[in-house]
Every structure is written in C-alpha cells, then in structure tokens.
Amino acid sequence: MRRLAVAAAALALAVTACAGGATATRTSTRLTTTARSTTVTPAPGHRLAGFSLDRNWLVLAEDPVAKGACPLVELVRVPAGPPRQLTGPGGESCSFGGRFWVRPGARAVGNAISKALWVLRRGSSAEAVKAGLGEKEALLERRSGIDAVRGPFLGPVVATNWLRLFGDYTRGLDGVLVGGAVSANDRQLWATSGAAIPVGLDDEEHAVAIGADGSIAMWHAHGAHYGVVPDAHARTATVDGGEVLVLRSDSPVLDVRLLSGKLVHSWPVAPGATPLLDADVPGSLAVYAAGRAVHELRLDDGADTVVATAPRGSTLLDAQIEPRFLAYAIRGGPAGAGRVVVLPR
C-alpha cells in the first residue's frame, strides 16, 4: 500500500508541477508544500546543479547563471522550512566562483543533517568547502593545475549523520587511482592505491570505495578494513545499514553484498540506469534513475517500481531516499532552472 501511495503521489506531483502547484497548501516563490509533496526551486539567477538529502534536511547546490552571481548552497528543512543560504557574498565559494562539478555520475554536494560539504570547479582549479547552520564556510582543500586525465581531483562527496567525506586523488600513468578520503575536519581517513574514492557512507560510518578497475573496498571511518571485491565490475555503489549495493558496469544488474564482499542477491535493473544510487536498507529499498523515471527496487525480492517520472523535456538529475522521504531533482523543459521534489514515504 505504501508503494501505491508513493506512486499516486508522484503522479499527482507531475500534474501539480506542470500546473504551477494548484493543489498547494502552502506556497512561496520558491517552495511549494502540499499534502503529497514539497517542491523547492533554486534562487533567482541560479540553476540547479545537484542536491543531497539526510533525514529531513535537504541541500541544494546551485550554479550561477546571472552575471555577477555566485554559486549557492542552500539548506531546507523539509517539508516546510524556508531555504537558508550556507554560502554568502563574502564567503569562500563566492570568492572562488566556478560550478559544482567533480566528474560525470558523481555527487558534488553532500549533507550530514544540517551541515554540508561541496566541491567547486573553475577551469583547472577545484576546491572543497564545508559549512552548516552555525558553521561558517571553511576551505578544506584546493587543487590547481588539474590535468583532464590525471588530476589531481577532488570529490565525489558523501555525507551522513555528522560525517562528511570527499575524495582527494590522482590517476597514475597506469590508470590506477591513488589517493584517499578526507573528512570535514581535514583528517585523512584512508590512503592506498587502487580503491580510494568514497562513493557511499552510512550512519555507522561504513564506507564503500571504487577503484578505476571497477573493484570495491569496504572500510570504516575509524580505520577497520572489511573486504575487497576485485571483480565487482562496479559502475557505482552505495552502503547503508551495513549492506553494500553495487550497480554493475557490465550488465543492468544491482548486486547486494555484505561488508565482507560476500554476494547476497543480484537483481535486474532498468536499462540505461545512471551511475547514481541510494538506499534505505532497513526499509529494504534502493532508488535509482533511468531515463526520466525514478525507480524503487525492493531488496528482498527484486521487485522494481517506477515511483515518479520527470515531465517530458526535463532531465532527471538524481534521486535519493531516506526513511521518511524520497527526493528527486529535475531540470530543463517544464522544470526550467530546476526543482527538487520531496515525497513523504
């Protein structure tokens, strides 16, 4: 029944989004709240680049479009809190400029409850910045002279439950990724060759990293190493509740593994799934995007359901899931500069 309710809410949402929020119970210029959804749009002069969701805190990363505008990170307490800027005219992000970008198929922003971390790119330079409610912007790392193939690179960003991590790595002449994960308190958590880029993190601070060869490694923020799967064929991965989900690169399949690397299940996914993945393992659900459709995959039996569809002409940027909410981001076409839609579960 819950899945049918979410699907119905998603259908109603698509109609509401195109109609300008006719069923809204609370509407402002940028936030529309109904009984079925919350929709947040970027600030004027900005374009949605990405988002992150942790508990009931939503973060929007917004690229400047208007002349003289700065990149913005905004925090929203869903379902009805107003957007609050974590960046400002005199802050580090505005001084640096640029756009939110790390590499295709990776997230440039993450939040751990009400604190966020993001990566900006400007030409051959990049920087990682953190901020939060009651926490001013602080520069964590800056890289310059970035080569398109070898780096050095910053990102992707993963965060949850007060821990924020970002990758800091280079690509060797042999293609091996060398580097590690750095926390928001500027602590190197792990450094090795091979699997070094964090792409998933859960509330217990288990992490999963992907190597250039598609291998995966599971570890803990305080140093424990759990397992390595050299032939995982990982396109992307995530971890939640001590289970590791791997979207494979060699076939439209999602593998479910333990922290040791042991394979538990393999489930088919829709063709064309994008390399972004999220999960609520206690709720036995994974969420991913394929084409214009947001899919929920039930982890205990592999049942796959489309729970939301982006309007025709819009691009589906990302989808994420938390115990209380499912959120997705669209941009272009009827969505214009973009919007993040949050559905209650």
Whole-number Å distance between alpha carbons of 40 and 13? 13
Evaluate if residue 22 carries a pLDDT over 80. Answer: no
Whole-number Å distance between alpha carbons of 156 and 181? 10
Q: Which residue, 208, 276, 298, 280, is CA-closest to 240?
A: 280
Among the ranges given (133-147, 166-180, 217-231, 321-335), the one the predictor scored with the smallest mean pLDDT: 166-180
Q: Which residue, 57, 50, 47, is CA-closest to 84?
A: 57
Ramachandran class of 102: left when φ > 0, alpha when ψ lies in -120 to 50, beta otherwise: alpha
Domain count of the fold of the chain: 1
Cβ 285 vs Cβ 277: under 8 Å: no
| CATH number (domain holding residue 334) | 2.130.10.10
pLDDT digits (tens, 9 = 90+) for 207-227: 999 988 899 999 998 878 899
Domain that holds residue 30: 2-344
Whole-number Å distance between alpha carbons of 12 and 34? 10
Among the ranges given (161-175, 257-271, 273-287), the one the predictor scored with the smallest mean pLDDT: 161-175
Q: Which residue, 74, 76, 187, 72, is CA-closest to 120?
A: 72
pLDDT score recorded for residue 196: 66
pLDDT digits (tens, 9 = 90+) for 113-130: 999 999 999 999 999 999
- Whole-model pTM: value is 0.90
> Residue 28 — very low, low, confident or very high, per pLDDT cuts 50/70/90?
low
